[in-house]
Structure 1
Amino acid sequence: MDDPPRRNGVRAFVAGYPPRAALADAWDEHSRFVGFAAGLFAFGVVVGILLLAAGYNLLEIIADLLGEGLFPEEIADFSGLELARFLLVNNSRAFLLSIVGALSLGLLTAWAMVFNGIIVGNVGAAIAADVGPGFILVGLLPHGIFELPALFIAAGVGFRLLYRIGQRLRGSRDAILTKRYLYRTGLLVLAGWLLLVVAAFVEAFVTPALLEALFTERLGGAGVP
């Protein structure tokens, strides 16, 4: 059923708070929390590298515990679109977890950042030791420049929400959720998720092509699939 007054109200709201201005405000509001999330990830990377240096290869440990690796074996048979969909679905789950992790007092959000950093640091260092650092740069950088900021944005939104809840409990904020907050934060979340979409297609189509073009002989010699 058509509701002209409500539709006109939405138009008036958006006209008074254009998406570009709202997105800029959202970034200003969340940027330090996004930076905090990136710091947790970087800490995890360092821990992952130190674990490898201590003799703990997480790929081998996970394979021994679960009888399989981090990804299903059938992933090798995926077409480009199937792989992109698989990556987007899995990354979207992590993206959503990082936001709703605020409801766990931020513990799930913090753990997601640190754990992902540990995996990247440990696995990346292990593969770099076999194939070389150039392989890791080519394998991670093209899609990582989209994927990692997206996950940091999601975590930043989760941490900021937790902070607003704390402000409300202390009495320094009248409301946790406001129309303007939901609007601008929704735009930031959408922008972050669209980065995940780009990352999934880059990882499915661009990254394999670059690795095959640059490292085919070295991969065969190192036994990397």
Structure 2
Amino acid sequence: MFSLERRENLRAYLTGLKPYIVLSTIVFALSIAVGYITYGIYPEYAMQSISGLEELVEMLEGLSLLEIMLLIFINNTIAMFIAILFGIVLGIVPLLVLVLNGFIIGTIVRLLLVENGLAFIVAGLVPHGIIEIPLLLLSTSIGMKIGYEVLLALAGKPSDIKNEFIKGMKFFFYWMVPLIFVAALIETFITPVIMYLVAGT
């Protein structure tokens, strides 16, 4: 059981992140919409933007399930860590992470919707995405909050960059990394099974 003090500290920290979580959610949703629409209008451009994913898929084909799971875990951990770490650059990097991921998801959703239908998309995204997407939004929110503290300092206003950075890193390693691992497990071992059942092949 977590102590009352720890629970209160966690609640207070998440409450302080609320404005940034809202902003992250809006940016992420808009980026998904842009990716979805772009594929409909300029499919060639949209496909070029996700061309790197084909190389990743080819690389994964030669790996064991355990290796795939570890690769997904490491990749997602690094991406979210970068979103927090480089939030110090005025919060710009977290926004770029959101836009890039949202655009890619929007493009893939439009592509799969045409080829496989809505049920296949839900099966491919929801099992692990229900954990992974909130974690992405949390990591970018933490990065943006750190960036805001930097902006306050540059404007000559009271700020506490060091304390905010430490709190963000503690939250990342204590709470987020274990959940990133769980999401990687689900994405590797459960999501493909559900997609197979939905596809019926």
> Does the alignment reach a TM-score above 0.5?
yes
The equivalent of 1:42 in structure 2 is 29
The aligned runs of 1:50-199 (5 Å cut-off) are: 50-57=37-44, 60-61=47-48, 69=54, 71-173=56-158, 175-178=160-163, 181=164, 184-190=167-173, 191-199=175-183
Q: Which has the larger radius of gyration?
A: 1
Change (3 A) 1:57 1:140: farther
Structure 1 ranges of 4+ moved more than 4 A: 181-184
Aligned length: 199
Q: Give yes or no for contact 2:90–2:150 (8 Å, CA) kept in 1.
A: no
Which secondary structure state, in structure 2, belongs to the residue aligned with residue 78 of structure 1?
A: coil
Partner of 2:54, secondary structure, is: coil
Contiguous gaps of at least 5 residues in structure 2: none
TM-score (norm 1): 0.79
Aligned counterparts of 1:157 and 1:97: Cα–Cα separation in 2: 11
Instruction: Note if contact 2:49-2:104 (Cα within 8 Å) is conserved in structure 1.
Output: no
Q: Distance in 2 between matches of 1:174 and 1:78?
A: 47
- Cα–Cα, structure 1 residues 24 and 57, in superposed 2: closer, same or farther, change >3 Å? farther
Q: Would you say the 8 A contact 1:80–1:204 is kept in 2?
A: yes
CA deviation vs aligned residue, 1:102-153 (integer Å, no higher than 9, x gap)? 2332222111101100000011110111000110001000100111111111
1:207 counterpart = 2:191: yes
Shift of 1:176: 2.4
Deviations 1:33-86 (A, max 9, x none): 12211211111101001111103256742577x6x7151413123322211101
Q: Any unmatched runs of 5+ in structure 1? A: 1-14, 218-225
Q: 1:156 to 1:124 in 2, by over 3 A?
A: same
Change (3 A) 1:98 1:174: closer
- Give the CA deviation at 1:182: 5.5
1:94–1:131 Cα change, 3 Å: same
Taking structure 2 as the reference length, the TM-score comes to: 0.87
> Which residue in 2 is equivalent to 1:223?
none
What's the C-alpha RMSD, in Å, of the aligned pairs? 2.5
- DSSP 3-state at the match of 1:202: helix
